[in-house]
């Protein structure tokens, strides 16, 4: 069963067809955000407004039917019916992934693509990026992901790097290094002139090792610029923030690109910890 750790909702009501639902799947539960969108999502003039945020904690059930039942029960208790949304996405955090350009991609080779990067997973999933003309191939927990797909018909499965790549249109003014920190890992996406030029999950045993790898990325891709901004999301505290500041020209917490003014609670939310569902 999933227990409700956090649930914040705006008093304003919108029809489901006007809303988007983003879910980020974790090892022990998930987080979600409901938003409305004006303009074309992914374009610079698009604006999103956060309507609700929630966190579910607890280990995923041992069977697919168990996960399905737990997902339905959680959203029913939260007063949310995950049907009829304008769009729904399930973001899957996976350490084993690679991008394959459209002209080289073949679905029968999915497992081979991951073997080329040293991974031999039991289950392989994919998501396509039209903007990058590429397919993300990644390892995932098939049982849990499939349970969410059945419980929420129409939900699109997305790898975290495909989600991070969506920031590209907003990165035209200066180089950007977007990071999402997790336990022993940091997901990194680099942008230059509005283009996504690098994405990878870096493993580290301590923060100094992570900094070394990130500085190497900047050197390799010519991002050693006084205007380069390091955006921090995920598991970031004051100590980590202070440690990073001397190594990068500009460092800031990334709270996503949603308007959180629908309620005082939403406004005070530490959105950077949940940056992937705030984009």
What digits encode the pLDDT tens for the residues 241-254?
999 999 998 999 99
Task: Determine contact, residues 230/244, Cβ cutoff 8 Å.
Answer: yes
What digits encode the pLDDT tens for the residues 54-112?
999 999 998 999 999 999 999 999 888 888 898 999 999 999 999 999 999 999 999 99
For the chain, what are the domain ranges?
A: 3-94+141-165+258-278, 97-139, 171-253
pLDDT at 270: 94
Residues in the chain, total: 279
Secondary structure of residue 183 in the 3-state scheme = coil
Task: Determine contact, residues 59/143, Cβ cutoff 8 Å.
Answer: no
158-185 average pLDDT score = 93
Domain made up of 171-253: CATH architecture: 2-Layer Sandwich (3.30)
Residue 42 has pLDDT above 60, yes or no: no
Residue 185 is encoded by which pair of tokens? 């890992």
List the one residue out of 268, 266, 203 whose CA is nearest residue 48. 266
pLDDT at 227: 84
pLDDT at 38: 62
Confirm whether 3-94+141-165+258-278 and 171-253 share one CATH topology: yes
Task: Determine contact, residues 88/154, Cβ cutoff 8 Å.
Answer: yes
Task: Determine contact, residues 29/67, Cβ cutoff 8 Å.
Answer: no
List the one residue out of 236, 250, 234, 174 whose CA is nearest residue 24. 234
Q: What is the topology classification, in CATH, of domain 3-94+141-165+258-278?
A: Nucleotidyltransferase; domain 5 (3.30.420)
CA-based torsion, 19, 78, 257, 209: positive or negative: negative
CA-based torsion, 131, 165, 92, 68: positive or negative: negative
- Chain-centroid distance of CA 54 in Å reads 15
152-165 average pLDDT score = 95
Question: Can you give the three-state secondary structure of 55-110, one letter per residue?
Answer: EEECCCCCCHHHHHHHHHHHHHHCCCCCCCCCEEEEEECCCCEEEEEHHHCCHHHH
Q: Indicate the pTM of the whole model.
A: 0.92
Q: Report which DSSP code applies to 174.
A: S
Across all residues in the chain, what is the average pLDDT? 91
């Amino acid at each position: 069963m999933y227990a409700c750790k956090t649930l914040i909702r705006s008093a304003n009501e919108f029809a489901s067809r006007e809303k988007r639902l983003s879910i980020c799947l974790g090892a022990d539960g998930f987080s979600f955000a409901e938003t409305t969108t004006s303009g074309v999502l992914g374009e610079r003039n698009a604006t999103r407004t956060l309507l609700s945020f929630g966190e579910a904690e607890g280990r995923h059930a041992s069977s697919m039917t168990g996960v399905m039942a737990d997902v339905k029960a959680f959203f029913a208790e939260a007063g949310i019916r995950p049907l009829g949304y304008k769009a729904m996405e399930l973001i899957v955090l996976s350490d084993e992934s690679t991008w394959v350009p459209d002209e080289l991609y073949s679905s029968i080779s999915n497992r081979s693509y991951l073997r080329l990067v040293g991974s031999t997973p039991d289950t392989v999933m994919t998501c396509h990026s039209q903007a990058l003309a590429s397919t993300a191939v990644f390892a995932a927990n098939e049982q849990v992901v499939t349970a969410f797909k059945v419980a929420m018909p129409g939900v699109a499965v997305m790898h975290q790097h495909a989600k991070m790549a969506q920031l590209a249109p907003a990165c035209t003014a200066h180089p950007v290094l977007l990071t999402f920190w997790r336990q022993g890992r940091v997901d990194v996406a680099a942008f230059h002139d509005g283009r996504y030029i690098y994405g990878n999950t870096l493993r580290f045993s301590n923060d100094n090792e992570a900094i070394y790898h990130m500085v190497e990325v900047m050197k390799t891709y010519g991002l050693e610029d006084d205007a380069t901004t390091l955006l921090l999301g995920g598991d970031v505290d004051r100590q980590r923030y202070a440690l990073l500041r001397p190594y990068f020209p500009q460092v800031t917490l990334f709270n996503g690109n949603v308007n959180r003014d629908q309620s005082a609670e939403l406004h005070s939310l530490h959105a950077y910890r949940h940056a992937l569902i705030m984009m």
